[in-house]
Chains A and B, each alone.
Chain A
Amino acid sequence: MKLTLSFICLMCLSGLTQADNRLNLTGSSTVAPVVMEIAKRFESVNPGVRVDVQTGGSTRGVVDSRTGMADIGMVSRALKTNESDLTAHTIARDGVSIIVHGSNDIMELSEAEIIAIYIGKITNWSEVGGEDRRITVVNKADGRATLELFLAHFSLKNSQIKAQAVIGDNQQGIKTVSGNPGAIGYVSIGAAEYEQSVGTSIKLLPMNGVAANMQTLANGEFPISRPLNLVTKSLTPLSQQFIEFAQSPAVADLIKAQYFVPASR
């Protein structure tokens, strides 16, 4: 009996210490995969610490960090003015590049041309100076972060877009464009740059004269990009330690592996 009691006490104690070493993160499904990787490494260099990562969208990240449901929120955009009670800690940047088939002789499209193509006003490459070929518009499925970023940049609504193909992830988008000489799509810059470097037949178009690559994304020149943030209302020592770790060069490889660029600091 005594033994059982002391055992229970021990359990309680360990439970308490566990609560102290436990970190909760919720929010954006774009940020979550890379944060999960960072959390694994954080746990391995800090034995006894448990980091719990849950998705649910940027809005949930804001709400949960505000109410204290989560120690840290994950938000895949800059904070809005009515969210100034929170502090954003940028860990990486994500960018979206317009891609066309590698054989397409178009070198650049203006923003107006891209909008006209996506809403179905321009349906042939000859109308923007290319060869006589029907344009295949490749769009992303509802809920994808790249779609949100694309729509926000061009001030479009998803229901305005007249697509001939809708895809899910970046890989599927790249395969669809590289298999169709008339296709135009948009994907995460890192994924596109990598695929191009291994010989996939795609071309990344510059935006407003700025080439689409990891350098212009990293130094903030590339126009279609967004910060990936960890947001907090107040900092406990452990969350501060985690945020500093997530912003340190020790996790740069994990961020690059998800096709983001580590935030410059």
Chain B
Amino acid sequence: MFQPHADRIAKPLLAAAALVCAAVLVLIIAVIISGAWPALISQDLVVFITDASWYPLEGQFGMLSMLLASLLVMMIAILLAAPMGIICAIFIAYIAPVRVQKIYRFAIALLAGMPSVVLGLWGLTVLVPLVNKWSPPGLSLLLAGIVLAVMILPTVALTSLAAFKSLPIALQQAASALGVRQHVQILKVFIPAASAAILSGMLLAMARALGETMVVLMVAGNVVQFPSGLMEPVRTLTANIALEMAYATDQHRAALFVSGLLLTAMVLVMMSFAARIKGHNDYG
């Protein structure tokens, strides 16, 4: 008798709370669209792709090079972080003694909490001068990818670890009972079984890398160009917004909102993929 009554009160309260969460997203997207509106109605939309480069004060709004730079930096980061993160998770889940497990877990959690501006500062003051010695200016696509890899490594490691930990114990028991050796168990049983959850963790990490601003702003060099090599400076969409928004007016400002819209769309697509994969996972 009491329980249904409590439910009646709790239901609308919870629904209202959930509505607020959802409304925030809608509100943010509405604000971005309204900010981008002046550019969306007054420009032919293809100019954002076809203009040769980005000189907003001279009427050039080409974003393709920055879009490519964003994607390249993200790909480098995940290519470096994924193997390391997954290996890290395997070590903690199956190989390390309990004590070492705890220390490693703590260290990864600590790295996850590292403010990205600190990582960026480390990149700018330590890595850039180092790379600069053999390939000036040092500020580059590759370096941005490396520092971002450090940033998203804990995300990959922790989500992979959670994926391994959530595998049913029966899986390991069955494999052991069949006399399968440990490294074969890991490669042929655990990794395939956890792969969907690992992949969705990787997508989360990629979305984070795509949206990251401070690190790339500090180490990527921010030159708008199609990079001809890994050591060339690039500007990502996020860095572009951070660099110019404070001083932008009129069409320039609206064009920055357009790039914000583009970024939001890309991150939402990735997040929905992550959610879909996770939904299909048998064990996750």
Contacts and interface: CB of A to CB of B under 8 A. Distances in A.
A143 B252 contact: yes
Nearest to A148: B57
Contacts of B138: 179-180
Nearest to A141: B243
A166 B223 contact: yes
A176 B58 contact: no
B221 A143 contact: no
A155 interface: no
Contact of A165 (B54, B223, B247): B223
Given A136-B136, A159-B58, A168-B243, A180 B53 contact: no
Interface stretch (B123-131, B158-166, B268-276): B123-131
Nearest to A163: B223
* Contact count band on B: 20 to 34
A165 B58 contact: no
Interface string B134-151: 001111000000000000
Contact of B247 (A144, A163, A182): A144
A40 interface: no
B55 to A, nearest CB: 5
B248 A167 contact: no
Contacts of A163: 223
Nearest to B139: A165
Contacts of B235: 166
B218 interface: yes
B169 to A, nearest CB: 52
A164 interface: yes
Nearest to A144: B247
Interface string B209-222: 00000000110011
Given A141-B243, A144-B247, A159 B60 contact: yes
Nearest to A140: B243
B246 interface: yes
B237 to A, nearest CB: 14
A167 B247 CA distance: 13
Nearest to A139: B223
Nearest to B253: A143
Given A29-B246, A57-B249, A166-B243, A159 B218 contact: no
Contacts of A117: none
Given A165-B139, A166-B235, A179 B248 contact: no
A180 B221 contact: no
B154 interface: no
Which 8 pairs of residues, A with B, have the shortest CB-CB distance? A143-B247, A166-B222, A141-B243, A136-B137, A164-B137, A165-B221, A159-B55, A179-B129
Interface of A: 29, 56-57, 59-60, 133-134, 136, 139, 141-145, 157-159, 163-168, 172, 175-176, 179-183
Interface of B: 53-58, 60, 124-125, 128-129, 132, 136-139, 217-218, 221-224, 233, 235, 242-244, 246-249, 252
Given A165-B223, A179-B128, 7 more contacts: A139-B223, A141-B247, A142-B57, A159-B55, A166-B223, A175-B124, A180-B128
